Each structure stands twice: as structure tokens, then as C-alpha cells.
């Protein structure tokens, strides 16, 4: 039996990087923000929609002082992910909202434009 191989980049679905900023009354803990986003994703898109969106948190890009970070998703589901982020109003018992700073095709361009 042959060992499974990864798809070459040309055959993988294209992705986009959404740069966001959390505006809140009190500082938001990253783990609780991730939980709020996953919960809202499951409520709004369901399991199938959530898996099709292929949401991935780029952990090492979250800045706790500025409360900014990057989320990766499939290129054809950017609007769904933006809607999920817009629906979030409470994280860890404090009122907050998530503002989209921009959408890019690479992490490098996201960092150079928005950080």
C-alpha cells in the first residue's frame, strides 16, 4: 500500500487571510476569542459550512496589546467568515466587536499592510 502524499500547491484550494481587530471594553484573552468564533461558526454555518470555510487561526500573529490577528479561510468563503465575525458581540462576558481591517492573499502582505 502506497503512503499518502500531500497535494501540490497548484491543486490545493486557494486561501485568503482576514486581518481583524477586536474592539472591546476590557482586554480579550485569545483562547476565549477563538472559542467565541468557533461557537458562532457552528451556530451560523453549522458543521458542514464550518468545514467548507476551512477556518484556521494563525496563532503567532495575534497581538494581545493591539488585539489584532489573522484568520485563514478558503477564498470562496470570505464573506461567510466576515459574517461570522460580525455576529460576535460578547467575548468572556465583556461587550466587543470584531472589525475587519482587510483581506489578503498571503501572510506576508497582511503583515506589511496592516501591522
The three cell numbers of residue 7 are 497535494
Domain-embedded: residue 83: yes
Q: Are strands 94-104 and 68-74 parallel, antiparallel or unpaired?
A: unpaired
**pLDDT, tens digit, for every residue of 17-41?**
999 999 999 999 999 999 999 999 9
Residues 17 and 58 sit within 8 Å (Cβ to Cβ): yes
Domain-embedded: residue 24: yes
**pLDDT, tens digit, for every residue of 83-93?**
999 999 999 88
Owner of C-alpha cell 465583556? 94
| Residue 98 burial (CB count, 10 A) | 26
Domain-embedded: residue 3: no
Give this prediction's pTM: 0.90
Which helix (H) or strand (E) covers residue 59, if one does?
strand 56-63
The three cell numbers of residue 24 are 472591546
The CATH number given to whatever domain includes residue 57 is: 3.30.70.3250
Amino acid at each position: 500500500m502506497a503512503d499518502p502524499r500531500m497535494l501540490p500547491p497548484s491543486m490545493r484550494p486557494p486561501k485568503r487571510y482576514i486581518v481583524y481587530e477586536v474592539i472591546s471594553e476590557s482586554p480579550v484573552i485569545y483562547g476565549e476569542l477563538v472559542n467565541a468564533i468557533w461557537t458562532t461558526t457552528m451556530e451560523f454555518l453549522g458543521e458542514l459550512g464550518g468545514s467548507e470555510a476551512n477556518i484556521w487561526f494563525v496563532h503567532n500573529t495575534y497581538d494581545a496589546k493591539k488585539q489584532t490577528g489573522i484568520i485563514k479561510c478558503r477564498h470562496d468563503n470570505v464573506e461567510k467568515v466576515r459574517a461570522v465575525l460580525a455576529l460576535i458581540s460578547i467575548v468572556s462576558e465583556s461587550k466587543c466587536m470584531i472589525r475587519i481591517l482587510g483581506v489578503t492573499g498571503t501572510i506576508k502582505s497582511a503583515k506589511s499592510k496592516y501591522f
